[in-house]
A = this chain, B = another copy of it.
Amino acid sequence: MANYKLEIEYDGTKYKGWQRLENSGPTIQGKIEGVLTQLLDESIEIIGSGRTDAGVHALGQVANFKTKQDLPSRKILEYLNQYLPEDIVVKKVEAVDERFHSRIKAVNKTYLYKIWNGSVPSAIHRKFSYHVPGNLDVKAMIEGGSYLVGKHDFIAFSSLKKIKKSTEREIYKVDITRSGNLIEIAINGEGFLYNMVRIIVGTLINIGQGKVPPDAIQHILKSKDRQLAGETVPPQGLFLVKVNYDIK
């Protein structure tokens, strides 16, 4: 059994998200499976490192699939990029160990959120950023972000309805930078709850606007109360940048 790992970039604008859905519009998983099924002439299911929501982008989503056929990785890469729409690009295909599983074996992930902090929206960046006019104090946002680092129960920063599993996660790094009107928030962690990055960003925006102080993050974490955190910012500013693994 061959196991292939894919690294995928996509512009999520037109998609209903990563996960294949019946009768609800195009998905990234569905498009890639369609082309692989056509190439291999057998029904292929790909496993993503995690779902991304409708409208969210990826620079380095990872997925894997198994097949009894043994094809050169290069051929799979070329075939996929020939038949996929141009808003989905496979950057890399590798034959990997049979035990590789893109979700279970993921060690940490990096997400990036882009805020367009100009007085008017940006025509060029509009599909890849969230427009927040008015003053944003990036220094306060950086301080707020520092309180996220470490192992915490992030339930207050999640849209989870039913909670079965642990909501504790470890965040390793939060990087916030400004370049002109563009503010970029990069977060690396072992894993993320549903909508966690988008609610963290909504909270950091509240901090940047001076609505709450930077150490409100500590208070919100402790409270475990979704109502105290900021709003879920829109999907078009979010990018899944990289998924890291120990083994191949």
Contact residues in B for A201 (Cβ distance below 8 Å): none
Interface on A for B, CB 8 Å cutoff?
9-11, 57, 59, 77, 81, 86-91, 118, 120-124, 126, 128, 239
B-chain residues with CB within 8 Å of residue A239 when the two chains form the complex: 124
| Interfacial chain B residues near A9, Cβ < 8 Å | 122-124
CB nearest to A119 among chain B residues: B91
Number of copies: 2
For A57, the chain B residues whose CB sits under 8 A away are 123-124
CA distance A9 to B124 in the complex (A): 7
- The answer to whether B81 and A126 touch across the interface, beta carbons within 8 angstroms, is no
Q: Within the assembled complex, what's the spacing in Å between the Cα atoms of A10 and B125?
A: 10
Write 24 A-B pairs (CB below 8 A) sorted by A numbering. A9-B122, A9-B123, A9-B124, A11-B123, A11-B126, A57-B123, A57-B124, A59-B124, A77-B120, A81-B120, A81-B121, A86-B121, A86-B123, A86-B126, A87-B123, A87-B126, A88-B123, A89-B120, A89-B121, A89-B123, A91-B118, A91-B120, A124-B128, A124-B239
**Chain B residues near A123 (CB, 8 Å)?**
9-11, 57, 86-89
CA distance A224 to B114 in the complex (A): 46
- The chain B residue sitting closest to A90, CB to CB, is B120
For the complex, what is the distance from the CA of A98 to the CA of B77, rounded to whole Å?
Answer: 59
CB neighbours of A120 from chain B (8 A): 77, 81, 89-91
Q: Other CB < 8 Å A-B pairs besides A91-B118, A124-B128, 13 of them?
A: A9-B123, A9-B124, A11-B124, A11-B126, A57-B123, A59-B124, A81-B120, A81-B121, A86-B126, A89-B120, A89-B121, A91-B120, A124-B239
User: Bound state CA distance, A77 and B239, in angstroms?
Assistant: 31
C-alpha gap A239/B89 in the complex (Å)? 24
Specify which chain B residues have a CB less than 8 angstroms from the CB of A87 in the assembled complex.
Answer: 123, 126
A59 to B87, CA, bound (A): 23
The 9 closest A-B pairs by CB, nearest first: A89-B123, A9-B123, A11-B123, A10-B123, A87-B123, A89-B120, A11-B124, A89-B121, A86-B126
Complex CA distance for A214 and B95, rounded to whole angstroms: 41
Inside 8 A of A59's CB, which chain B residues have their CB? Answer: 124
